[in-house]
Amino acid sequence: MKHAGVRRVSCLRQTPVHPLIVLRLLGSMLAMPGLALAAVTEADFFGELPVVLSVSRLSQPVSEAPAAVTVIDQDMIRASGFRDIPELLRLVPGFSVSYTANNTWTAGYHGLADAYSRRFQVLVDGRSIYSPHYGTVYWTDLPLAIDDIERIEVVRGPNAAIHGANAFVAVINIITKTAAQVPGKFASVQYGEQAMRGLTVRQGGGEDRLRYRVTASAQQRDRFEKHVVGTVYDDGSYFEASKTYFVNGRLDWQLAPDSDVMLQFGLSQGDWKGGSRLPASARSYLQPVEQDSRALYLHLAYHKVESKRREWRVQAYHTQNRFDADTVANIGGPVVVDQYLMQSRSNIELQVNEQWMPDLRAVWGGEARRETVKSPQSYNSGDTFSGELARVFGNLEWRVNKHVLLQGGAMLEHHYFTGTDLSPRVAANFTVMPDHVVRVGVSRAYRSPTFFEEEGNQVLLRDSGALADIFTVPSNGLKPERILSREIGYVGYWRPARLELDIRLFKDRIDDFIGQQKADYAADPGSIISGNEFQYQNLGLVQSRGGELQLRWRPVRELDVSAHYARVYLSADTARQNYNIDIPRSAPRNNWGLLANYRLDSGWEASVGAWRSDAVIWLTEGDLTRSYVRVDARLAKRWKWQGTEVEAALVGQNLGDDYEEFRNTNVFSRRVYGSLAFTW
């Protein structure tokens, strides 16, 4: 079962437009040094209809974007009371969010979700944080404070024409605050039930052309109830506990009125405990009791405005994630399981924005990337697996007249496992009357297999080198998953009521769905090997259809209400009957959410959030979890004290009944925490 050796290859990818680009498109090409940095405010992006950057790499109002998009702004982040970034996806229609186990999160959009969020792309300022090993997103050790987020744009639907393979069903683009937006000092502390502890400090400084910010944070969580009635964990030893520390920094340097540089870095370390303290014979072989995590990144971008008609940006980054965990399995004797994992990504990208004619503009560019993975236990090899990929892309926007906007684009990509693919998209936006737009679109996207799906050979070896057990064997060569997505959307804005409404109807067809199938492997007679080895295979067809609605209502300055609803139908025709049964239940048939915030007099602010999900089954490692309603509430007070801005808040989470996440033993109960923040 040894792997043949190191694999190498090449392909193609990309990243979103930086906020400074938008300011130059919306403003007037920097009249004086540092003007763009000084002018960055939330109002630049959230006027009547928000301007988005992620859908086509062109700055556009949401009504002119070629796909549906949800904007989570700073007001929504603060009002929600969430302190963990993935929980913010509860504010997006069609998303299911859960904490799984071993200090990891997962999320699904329209179902097909398991312990790994493999079917959407996640970016932070244009830097991909999608794992080349499992395809998951390591939210817990992401060196990013929720207080440093400017906004999050979630593209609902395939966007491979702009963001390449793995932008399969959605794109989550996290845009952080520039150094100019956070001058001075900031400190925030949280303390609450379930051992919730948090401390974040930030220093921003510089002047004129050179500005910086540095953030450091320490976070601690115990996620679930330890006592779960009716399970093997009744001894109270079931737990999830994490301590994570990180520091990150950003430098914004205005070289000249027409050019700037952005430099970022981040480091994190996690001391995580999870699972169960039961003896090895009573728990999963691969369930670690303790984990050590390390992550780092370095990100450099240069932006140049050549003229009113042309600007370009080049960026490069390197990221690295390392996990180390040991556990002991009892398989006819003790077996030490070394779960060491090291993965990295190095990336360089060029993006050029051009205004060819008053009614015709375009964006084009290319990208090269190298990814590596090393995990002896996951691949039965001490080799480092690597692959190179390359991409070129282009997107056009043509305003035919005041009523019709046509857009089209494509990504040509060569991936180290699946070869060359083309991901096109066309869309048309029709302004039926002022502030009311109907959008129709069709797109094709691909999801390339991860290293583990393609090459995973998860085995347990004794100290002697003898085989103790086999869990997965390498694939026989996977084809990429393919999705054909068709949608009709409507975006409307009622000015007198200050009401934004977004409706989307969709129909998706996924071919060559990748899932686990029992492998054709026969153990030797008398072997203690389980005989339940699995292999990733292209198993067949999945279809999805349904509708989404989201609204934002701000009738007066004091009141801000956002709400969403999604209804999804899934069907499957695959080679595994259990998938045909489970996939239709992997998305809640109905889910909705509501977040309302009211600003009272004298700096007081009150908000309430409610989220409801039908029952859902999480594929592979997950369970069927029951339907639930979750209600959160937040009460906050802001005031000034000796020149310092102070905010105190009290947050209650899940004020109703307990509910389950991912597994029926993951019981999320009622809890309360308080926070205190200072800005000076």
CA distances from 164 to 8, 137, 391, 449 (A): 20, 17, 8, 13
DSSP string, 249-261: EEEEEEEETTEEE
Both tokens assigned to 549: 């609605």
User: Would you say 235 and 11 are in contact if contact means Cβ atoms under 8 Å apart?
Assistant: no
pLDDT at 8 over 70: no
Reported as type and span, the H/E element at residue 451 is: helix 451-455
Surface-to-core class of residue 418, CB atoms within 10 Å of its CB (0-12 exposed, 13-18 middle, 19+ buried): buried
How far, CA to CA in Å, does 161 sit from each of 164, 363, 578? Answer: 6, 12, 33
Range list of β-strands (E), 64-183:
68-73, 95-99, 105-109, 120-124, 127-128, 149-156, 170-176
598 vs 243, more confident: 598
Is 3's pLDDT higher than 90? no
DSSP state letter for 621 = T
Q: Write out pLDDT tens, residues 383-393.
A: 999 999 999 99
pLDDT-derived band at 29, boundaries 50, 70, 90: very low
**Model pLDDT for residues 97-154, shown as the tens digit of each residue:** 998 877 788 999 999 988 888 899 999 999 999 899 999 898 988 999 999 999 999 9
More confident residue, 5 or 110: 110
Give the confidence band of 275 by pLDDT, cuts at 50, 70, 90: low
Give the separation between CA 431 and CA 433, rounded to whole angstroms.
5
In this prediction, residue 25 carries a pLDDT of 32
Q: pLDDT category, 228, cuts 50, 70, 90?
A: low
Pairing state between β 170-176 and 149-156: antiparallel
What pLDDT sits at residue 178? Answer: 96
The Cα angle at residue 268 between residues 266 and 269, in degrees rounded to 5 = 165
Which uninterrupted H or E stretch holds 187? strand 184-192
* 3-state helix/strand/coil string of 15-83: CCCCHHHHHHHHCCCCCCCCHHHHHCCHHHCCCCCCEECCCCCCCEEHHHCCCEEEEEEHHHHHHHCCC
Long-range contacts of the stretch 502-505 (C-beta < 8 A, 24+)? 502/62, 502/68, 502/70, 502/548, 502/549, 502/550, 502/551, 503/547, 503/548, 503/549, 504/68, 504/156, 504/157, 504/547, 504/548, 504/549, 505/546, 505/547
Tokens at residue 503, please?
A: 């409706």
pLDDT at 27 over 90: no
Give every CB contact of residue 525 below 8 A, 6+ residues apart in sequence: none
Say whether pLDDT at 345 is over 80. yes
pLDDT tens readout for residues 592-602 = 999 999 999 89
Could you tell me if 186 and 202 are in contact, meaning their C-beta atoms sit under 8 angstroms apart? yes
Q: For residues 158 and 409, is the Cβ–Cβ distance under 8 A?
A: no
Q: pLDDT per residue over 36-80, tens digit each?
A: 333 334 444 445 789 999 999 999 999 999 999 999 999 999 999
Q: Phi first, then psi: give them for residue 62, nearest 5 degrees.
A: -60, -25
Percentage of the chain beyond pLDDT 70 is 87
Looking at residue 664, what is its pLDDT? Answer: 84
- pLDDT bucket at 562, cuts 50 / 70 / 90: very high
Q: Are 456 and 447 in contact (CB under 8 A)?
A: no
* Arithmetic mean of pLDDT over the chain: 87
Structure-derived torsion over alpha carbons of residues 270, 276, 281, 287, reported in degrees to the nearest 10? -40
Q: Looking at per-residue confidence, does 665 or 607 come out higher?
A: 607
* Alpha-helical segments (H) within 263-403: 376-379
- The β-bridge relationship of strands 385-399 and 671-679 is unpaired
Half-sphere exposure of 156 (CA within 13 A, CB side): 30
Residue 632's H or E segment, with its range, is strand 628-641
Cα distance between residue 100 and residue 116, in whole Å: 9
At residue 238, does pLDDT exceed 90?
Answer: no
Contact predicate 164/423, CB 8 Å: yes
Strand duo 184-192 + 170-176: pairing: unpaired
DSSP-assigned letter for residue 177: P
Using the predicted structure, report yes or no on whether residue 239 has a pLDDT greater than 70. no
CA angle at residue 566 from 144 to 609, to 5 degrees?
55
Q: Please report the pLDDT score of residue 19 as a whole number.
A: 37
Mean pLDDT of 452-461: 91
* Residue 97: count of CB within 10 angstroms of its CB: 23
Q: What does the pLDDT read at residue 152? A: 97
Which positions ≥6 away from 167 have C-beta within 8 Å?
A: 120, 121, 155, 158, 159, 160, 445
What is the rounded distance in angstroms from the CA atom of residue 217 to the CA atom of residue 84?
13
Residue whose tokens read 């109907």: 438
Supply the pLDDT for residue 620: 82
* pLDDT reading at 521 higher than 90: no
Residue 435 scores a pLDDT above 50: yes
Residues 625/660, Cβ–Cβ less than 8 Å: yes
Distance between CA atoms of 136 and 166, rounded to whole angstroms?
11
Which tokens in the block code for residue 384? 């480092």
Side chain identity at 510, as an amino acid letter? I
Least confident residue range of 431-440, 556-565, 660-669: 660-669
pLDDT exceeds cutoff 80 at 516: yes
Question: Which candidate, 415, 416, 437, places its Cα nearest to that of 428?
Answer: 437
For 37, residues 6+ apart whose C-beta sits below 8 A from its C-beta are: 20, 178, 179, 180, 211, 252, 254
Spatial neighbors of 51 by CB under 8 A, at least 6 apart, are: 22, 26, 44, 45, 59, 60, 61, 62
- Which of 96-100, 378-382, 580-584, 664-668 comes out lowest in average pLDDT? 664-668
Calculate Rg over the CA atoms of the chain: 25
Q: Contact at 8 Å (CB) between 441 and 486?
A: yes
Residue 206 has pLDDT above 60, yes or no: yes
End-to-end CA distance of the chain: 60
| pTM metric for this prediction | 0.89
- % residues pLDDT > 90 (the chain): 72
pLDDT of 515 reads 93
| 407 beta partners | 397, 427
Neighbours of 529 (CB within 10 A): 17
Domain boundaries, the chain: 19-679
- Cβ–Cβ under 8 Å, residues 128 and 285: no
pLDDT band at 663 (very low <50, low <70, confident <90, very high): confident
Architecture of domain 19-679: Beta Barrel (2.40)
